Chains A and B, each alone.
Chain A
Amino acid sequence: MDMPAPNAAPHPTPAPAPPGPGRSLGQARTDLGLSREDVARQLHLKPQHIVALEDDDYQSLPGATYVRGYLRSYAQLLGLSPEPILEAHARMIGGQQPAVLPSLSPPPQATSSHRHIRLTTYLVAAIVFGLALVWWQGGKPPPTPEIGRLDTRAPAPTGELMGPPGPLPDAAPAAPLTSADHAYMNTPAPLRGADPIVQPAAPANPPSPAPVGAAPVRAQLSLYVEQESWIEVRDGQQNRLLYESFPAGRTMMLEGIAPLYVFLGNADGVRVEFNGKPFDLAPHKRGQVARFALGAGAPAGAPR
């Protein structure tokens, strides 16, 4: 490692600043026999400005743009080429070329050619692609549960429980469907001809224990839809047995714990049989709709 010589100057003297254009301008002016006042008069500048230009004293002059303009005019007046003068000026003030945008260091602007932007683009594209894939997969219908299939090979022991195609929205999972036996058929075939249909996705819930107290009274209800109608049926435990609109020509046979609470949206279009006997809706009709209860425990006036 080189050590500085002990007698070496600790701070070398700075290199002398490159000569400015002032000296050559002054020399050319004297060669032409012009005084500073002559030049000032011709350039319409103050004589002090000419002195400052020849002394390379730019502090007393207006901004850099003006100084370069004065130097250019002065050089042209003396028949010199302005470029070497301006270069000498630029060298003197620190080698800075005419500052087009001084003190400007433009913040780099992100463009698509930058690596991080490109990576971000690929990342966003991958996320979009992934989301599109998930959406496409999610858009496929789920595997169809085997519901609604009727099998007439063996008679149903009691003809009970045929769930509607979808799970009933508010059916309680523990108690409801098995205790509230009901049939739900598309054909007018008698209920006993149909097998119970069990949803494979959800194994049949174990039958809930019978309610404490008296044994529940079961009631049978047949509904023949002749005109499209909204039908709602609840059993004695407030389990919803039916709750939807049925088209004309449908027949429903239900069995549930009495009393059965029935609401018909189009009472004229539905014929009702309770325990095998026709039921007269006329007393219960209010306008288009009918609301009534059937079976033991029903309010007075209802058939038992």
Chain B
Amino acid sequence: MFRTVRGYFSSDLAIDLGTANTLIYVRGKGVILNEPSVVAIRQEFGPRGNRTVLAVGAEAKKMLGRTPGSIQAIRPMKDGVIADFTVTGEMLKYFIRKVHEKRLFQPSPRIVICVPCGSTQVERRAIRESAISAGAREVYLIEEPMAAAIGADLPIAEPTGSMVLDVGGGTTEVGVISLGGIVYSHSLRIAGDKMDEAIINYVRRKYGILIGEATAERVKKEIGTAWPDGTLQEMEIKGRHIADGVPRSVTISSKEAYSALTECLSGIVTAIKKALEQTPPELAADIAEKGLVVAGGGALLKHLDHMLREETGLPIVITDDPLTCVVRGCGRALEETEKLSDVFVYE
């Protein structure tokens, strides 16, 4: 009963608990938090040393790959699901408190969280339990393609097919939606993280230099491209030479970045084609006419729409602000919980 009372003093939240970033939408306010899903933990010395949370979010991300032995910078989400239950709970608790600053009581909000459509029951339950351990009063789960479709303001309730591609940090989700339900969905674990890995591997193979995840991500964001458009961009990166063991710098071009990303991108294209094969013909016709809607941080990869258009033959629509599309969809589901109750999943 006390939780209910505390609920009056909490704002309901929609959370996109992503592998790379966690976004929080507060009811009536909009998206007010966008932080990396990273937690820095200090392990105290001694056999009974406690683990304390040192930093969460952007501050912790700066520590990634730069920590001493006593500190661990952890990404508690992996491939769209929880890899470290306790740390995820701590991270959620931190974020929930952060959006409830200057409140009288400890918050106990209702929370809508999106989950990958390919996640198992155990993984969904872990996410639910983690949110409850962070103080949630009620937890609703929504599948990411559905959240992306709602966030992109697609006509999900109408008898027309809409296809959504959400390229996130850990997973890429493809979904075909009609009449308020998911007709087909597929989740593949090729997304932003795998692209970073591909760049790391490429640089190591070609130049014999080991670079970190943060550097690889910078390469992807600055010169990464999904389609060679004739222009050439270059960027200097620094890393440790594998043979010499000393730091070296090397200049990498957008063409090389494209080569590095090709494999990941072809995986995504294959998933889209597979989804189109599995889609009923009437819905496929709708999709062929209207196009494929792309959301998620991966949509910001340069010329991704061009590449998808050429590979799939569909019109491609990049949503407005694709990074927050999913959390906005969760937020809208939260605002209209009664009307959109069918979109929630119950494990």
Chain A residues within CB distance 8 Å of chain B: 43-46, 62-66, 68-70, 72-73, 98-102, 104, 106-113, 117, 121
User: What's the Cα separation between A206 and B50 when bound, in Å?
Assistant: 79
Chain B positions 306 through 335: 1 when the CB is less than 8 Å from some CB of chain A, otherwise 0: 000100011111111000000010011001
Q: Is B11 an interface residue, CB under 8 A from the partner?
A: yes
In chain A, what residue has the closest Cβ to B158?
A: A63
A73 with B335: CB separation less than 8 A: no
Once A44-B313, A44-B315, A46-B289 are accepted as A-B contacts, the answer to whether A63 and B154 lie under 8 Å apart by CB is: yes
- 25 residue pairs of the A-B complex, CB under 8 angstroms, read A44-B309, A44-B315, A45-B291, A62-B289, A62-B290, A65-B153, A65-B320, A66-B290, A69-B293, A69-B316, A69-B317, A70-B291, A70-B315, A73-B317, A100-B30, A101-B153, A101-B335, A106-B27, A106-B335, A107-B28, A109-B12, A112-B103, A112-B104, A112-B105, A121-B104
Closest CB in chain A relative to B156 CB, distance in Å: 11
Closest CB in chain A relative to B345 CB, distance in Å: 22
User: What's the Cα separation between A102 and B154 when bound, in Å?
Assistant: 11
Once A44-B313, A109-B11, A110-B8 are accepted as A-B contacts, the answer to whether A65 and B154 lie under 8 Å apart by CB is: yes
Q: Is B152 an interface residue, CB under 8 A from the partner?
A: yes
Chain B residues within CB distance 8 Å of chain A: 8-12, 27-28, 30, 102-105, 151-155, 289-291, 293, 305, 309, 313-320, 328, 331-332, 335-336
List the A side residues contacting B332 at CB < 8 Å.
Answer: 101, 104
Closest CB in chain B relative to A100 CB, distance in Å: 6
List the B side residues contacting A66 at CB < 8 Å.
Answer: 290-291, 293, 317
List the A side residues contacting B27 at CB < 8 Å.
Answer: 106, 109
User: What's the Cα separation between A102 and B150 when bound, in Å?
Assistant: 11
Partner of B320, one of A44, A98, A113: A98
Known: A99-B153, A112-B104. 12 other contacts (CB 8 A): A45-B291, A65-B320, A73-B309, A100-B30, A100-B328, A101-B331, A104-B332, A110-B8, A111-B11, A112-B9, A112-B105, A113-B102
Please report whether the interface of chain B is mostly helix, strand, loop or mixed according to DSSP.
loop
List the B side residues contacting A45 at CB < 8 Å.
Answer: 291, 315
B319 with A69: CB separation less than 8 A: yes
User: What's the Cα separation between A106 and B27 when bound, in Å?
Assistant: 8
List the B side residues contacting A109 at CB < 8 Å.
Answer: 11-12, 27-28
List the B side residues contacting A43 at CB < 8 Å.
Answer: 309, 315
In chain A, what residue has the closest Cβ to B314?
A: A44
List the B side residues contacting A100 at CB < 8 Å.
Answer: 30, 151, 153, 320, 328
Closest CB in chain A relative to B230 CB, distance in Å: 13
User: What's the Cα separation between A52 and B134 when bound, in Å?
Assistant: 50
Closest CB in chain B relative to A21 CB, distance in Å: 15
In chain A, what residue has the closest Cβ to B308?
A: A44
Closest CB in chain B relative to A102 CB, distance in Å: 6
User: What's the Cα separation between A63 and B9 when bound, in Å?
Assistant: 38
List the B side residues contacting A64 at CB < 8 Å.
Answer: 153
User: What's the Cα separation between A107 and B338 when bound, in Å?
Assistant: 13
Partner of A65, one of B9, B152, B314: B152
List the A side residues contacting B328 at CB < 8 Å.
Answer: 100-101
B293 with A104: CB separation less than 8 A: no
List the B side residues contacting A121 at CB < 8 Å.
Answer: 104
A73 with B305: CB separation less than 8 A: yes
List the B side residues contacting A68 at CB < 8 Å.
Answer: 317, 320
Once A63-B153, A106-B28, A109-B12 are accepted as A-B contacts, the answer to whether A69 and B318 lie under 8 Å apart by CB is: yes
User: What's the Cα separation between A249 and B275 when bound, in Å?
Assistant: 96
A117 with B8: CB separation less than 8 A: yes
Closest CB in chain A relative to B69 CB, distance in Å: 43
In chain A, what residue has the closest Cβ to B286?
A: A62
- B11, B152, B154, B320: residue with the most chain A Cβ atoms closer than 10 Å: B320
In chain A, what residue has the closest Cβ to B31?
A: A100
List the B side residues contacting A44 at CB < 8 Å.
Answer: 291, 309, 313-316
User: What's the Cα separation between A184 and B102 when bound, in Å?
Assistant: 67
Once A73-B305, A106-B335, A109-B27 are accepted as A-B contacts, the answer to whether A63 and B103 lie under 8 Å apart by CB is: no
